[in-house]
Structure 1
Amino acid sequence: MKKGSTVVTMADVARSAGVSTMTVSNVINGRPRVGAATRERVLAAISDLGYQVNLAARHLRAGRTGVVGLAVPELERPYFAQLAGRLADRFEAHGLRIVMERTGASREGELDAVAFSRLRMYDGLILSVVDIDPAELTQIRTDAPVVLIGERALPSRFDHVMMDNVDGARQATAHLLATGARRIAMLGGNPDTSANMPALRAEGYAIAHTAAGVAMDPELIVRCSFRLQDGYDGIRSLIDRGTAFDAVFALTDVVAIGALRALADAGRRVPDDVQVVGFDDIDEASYLVPSLSSVNPGHDAMAEAITSLLVAQITGGPTGDPQELIVPAELFQRGTTNPVA
């Protein structure tokens, strides 16, 4: 609140505009009881004097900082970037700002995010859980508002919002089977581990095969990470081994995009020779050529649920027994898959 080296106060603005400090406060806080001409005069004085609202002091007086932490495994993955954007829009409507930090999908990073959330002056924390053990979550000592997001059920004392990984994967695989595909490669992750995202999506993949009476070939399960290059290399490994496949279920859209490039480089036409479905329905999916069929995990519903749960804790304190919400997934069929006959 300085102009040059001089501290500009609300009283300075009031004197310049010829109004009371209460009127200046009403203008700053958007209250409706100020006439248009007076409002313009106050805004002009604010601009001329370079007055800035000390939001930090305001929030601290209320016992809050106005900041919510969002701790995710990676900052580079489009899914998390787009989730952050949706959350930022919603929290801003409540006067709260989002700050992102990276956990590296490690147990230590996730535990630190919770343990140090108060030191970082967050009013609340949204934590994407990948590697923490459920018992460790129960033992964490914090009175900070926390909402978990993630792929698996985690009995704990924190509210938790999850996407329906199993049914989303089932929908994707069932659609490919319904179009006539019989050798569907599943691309991404390590489905042998317990109840994590790859395992849950592999479960949905298996359920769809069983329901259709189609046997699964273990050679079609490609374990890889979730970068573009991993999707590309996964497809190349199938082709180089001579493994026949007529469809790909990629566990994320990023992996699917890498797979599409590998198929193009190999001269495989999509969807004529190989169909492809991704998961996450990132914004880029519908702009690819051909546009990517993908499972939408319920982006808006998840953002609404996360915001509602955390704001309730921030403004009202503990809300009773922890809530566990599973948001339905929906497959969006686009140009990388054929219509069902």
Structure 2
Amino acid sequence: MTTIRDIARIAGVSIATVSLALRDDPRIANATAKRIKDIARDEHYVVDLTARSLHNKRNGIIGMTVFDIDKPYPAKVASEVVAAAKRRNLETLMHQLVPDATPTDKYLATWKAVSQLCDGIILNSDSALRNGLYRLSGDTPMLLLGEPDDEFGLDTVTIAHDRESELAMGHLLDIGCTGIVVLGSPYTSEEQAIGRKTLLDKRAYGFYQACRHHQVDPDMIRFVTCDWSMTEAHRQMLYLLDSGERFDGLLCLTDTMAMGALRALKDRNVQVPEDIAVMGLDGIREGEFLVPSLSTVEPNLREQAEQALTLLTERIEGGTDLPPRHVDIGYRLIQRESTMRLRS
């Protein structure tokens, strides 16, 4: 295995110079740093985490909890965090969570070991396991991706789900939809969502806000409960179409659900967007290549990752006395073929 001493010998510099160059220390000239990094890459040099930890009490590892890593959106979130960490010369360790799982002793023991290995942790805030994971993490700095939680007082990076969904619903209203199904939500009234505490609450509240701003009756919205998967969205959409339900706009709470719904509409020879316009949420890349391509609201996940790593590394580097900080990230509407029709 190549060592830092080997790189120093090949480059004709001191071990200290190699160490500083690999840490992007500004005292090393750019040309020298580049030459050292090129040699390290060519020689397949790997950082000795044990040595690094003994030297500065850090491993250079950021932990992250993830749900459903096999689905496009969580995979995209995780990928952006990995890229943002790489830009800071940090490695990432993913720990997959199972929604609504019972936290077994073995599971929690594994998490405790993971948290001890990491310098800091990015925690998914929508987990039923959150309380146990937080308390087992000891003094390891943590950050929430999701809605702020006063109980823990952690830094948070949040997507404005209410404003995203308001934008998506507003787009369907703008193109002339007069009867809209929202697939994936159990709500039947605005009062149920008024608290706006969870992702689902906030998205439902945004739908009602769009109706208010467009001066249309919110009763035009029908909320349909559905698991957030392609399979269940396909099944539920077939049921709606076969039951004779009449609507001209469909808003799916995720792009993944929209993919299943589009297949069901194709199976029943429903024209999109002429008969039913379809809108998604999340902005996954796969939506661009569907037929028809999927309109969506895309959060800026690169910004989310950068903000998360910035806040977390500040905590790791000694910012324990800072008050909890909260950042909302940006988003944008992307209109594609699934809503590309003239207003009635």
Q: Same fold (TM over 0.5)?
A: yes
- Cα distance change, pair 293–319 in 1 and its aligned pair in 2 (3 A): farther
For 1:1-341, what aligned pairs fall within 5 Å after superposition? 1=1, 10-11=4-5, 20-22=14-16, 25=19, 32=28, 43=39, 47=43, 53-106=47-100, 112=108, 116=112, 119-132=115-128, 142-150=138-146, 152-155=147-150, 156-191=152-187, 195-217=197-219, 220-339=222-341, 341=343
Give the letter aligned to residue 172 of structure 2. Answer: L
Q: Deviation at 1:58?
A: 1.8
Does the Cα contact within 8 Å between 1:65 and 1:121 map onto a contact in 2?
A: yes
Equivalent residues, number: 329
Distance 1:97 1:320 in 2: 25
Unpaired runs of at least 5, structure 1 = 2-7
What is the CA–CA distance in structure 2 between the aligned matches of 1:133 and 1:9, rounded to whole Å? 41
Indicate the larger mover: 221-230 or 246-255.
Answer: 221-230
The question of whether the paired residues in 1 share the 8 Å contact of 2:108 and 2:133 is answered with: no
Kept in 2: contact 1:103–1:109 (CA 8 A): no
Determine what percentage of the aligned residue pairs are the same residue.
Answer: 31
Question: Does the 8 A contact of 1:163 with 1:328 survive in 2?
Answer: yes
TM-score by length of 1: 0.83
Decide whether the 8 Å contact of 2:115 with 2:121 is kept in 1.
Answer: no
Task: Give 5+ residue unaligned stretches, structure 2.
Answer: none
Secondary structure, aligned partner of 1:248: strand
Alpha-carbon contact 1:149-1:162 (below 8 Å) kept: yes
1:78: how far off?
A: 1.2
Alignment partners' CA distance in 2, 1:169 and 1:35? 49
Query: What SS does the aligned partner of 2:143 have?
Result: strand
Q: Which moved more, 1:61-70 or 1:124-133?
A: 124-133
Q: Report the CA distance shift for 1:319/1:238 in structure 2 as closer, same or farther (over 3 A).
A: farther
Aligned-pair Cα RMSD in Å: 3.5
Q: Report the counterpart of residue 4 of structure 1 in structure 2.
A: none
Shift of the alpha carbon at 1:296? Answer: 1.1
- CA shift at 1:209, angstroms? 2.0
Instruction: Quote the Cα distance in structure 1 between the aligned partners of 2:214 and 2:172.
Output: 11
Contact 2:185/2:223 (8 A) holds in 1: no
Deviation at 1:273, TM superposition (A): 0.7
Identify if the C-alpha distance between structure 1 residues 10 and 260 changes in structure 2 by more than 3 Å, giving closer, same or farther: closer
